[in-house]
Amino acid sequence: MSVIDKEKLSHWESAEIGDIIQLKDEQTISFLMDEGHENLTHGADFTVQRIRKIPAQVGNASWLVLSIEFADFSWSLIVKSDGSDFDLYVYYVPDGFVDGDRNDIIDNSDWLMEEWDEDKVGLKDLPFASEIQQEEDIIFKTNGPEYGTCNEDGDKSFVTVVEYSTDEDDVDNPLMMAIEFNQYKDYENSEDNEVEDEDGDFDVETTVDSGVEVDEDSSYIMLLQGCSVTSSDVDILRI
């Protein structure tokens, strides 16, 4: 593998289940050593467990989400592209967050959503919080959600992506990302109509309306926190 390969988006998009993602950034190595792990001279070898590709519905943004595991840690390597360039990020699930559907979030992590008045708005329409406060003086802010379609082994789902960041200088992991997945439901409606031709005769014409609609009751929400890394901090070791 050449350095040039790592500068191409196709290099990261070619990752497969079972490949090794080797993380060599100082923060990862320091954390794992503090947790008692050894033999990290050449980096920490995470195994790719899941691969999800999320192109935005509007614009050129896309997210490649690689779920990776090391010992008892499950993290994510995310490759975000704008169509011509890309950045790499390492994320983990922050302490205290419980993933699940919207009911689970309200019950366990309601700070991720705007304050809910169920008499005024349904839970499925409740927006994500515009700010997340972590500790007393650390606030993560967002410019709002983006929407895309997730493709995982041919299965597709509707996705809402909300990216947060903080301007505080002394935060090791200044980025957050909330991702909500909703299943698609196919629909097809047909309607028969009588149509009069130029001779005055009537015939039955059938029109068919088909497509997909978002199943908002199928919500699954995950939250990640992390930081950017450079391509020199990450290697893909093929199986």
Residue-level pLDDT at 238? 87
Give the rounded percent of residues in the chain with a pLDDT score beyond 70. 93
More confident site: 65 or 41: 65
Q: Tell me the whole-structure pTM to 2 decimals.
A: 0.85
Residue 212 — very low, low, confident or very high, per pLDDT cuts 50/70/90?
low
State pLDDT tens for residues 89-140: 999 999 889 899 999 999 999 999 999 998 889 999 999 999 999 888 899 9
State pLDDT tens for residues 7-28: 999 999 999 999 999 999 999 9
Report the b/e string of 86-121 with b at 16+ CB within 10 A: bebbbbebeeebeebbbeebbeebeebbeeeeeeee
Say which DSSP state 111 is in. G
What mean pLDDT do residues 181-190 have? 77
Q: Alpha helix locations (H) across the chain?
A: 3-6, 9-13, 26-34, 102-108
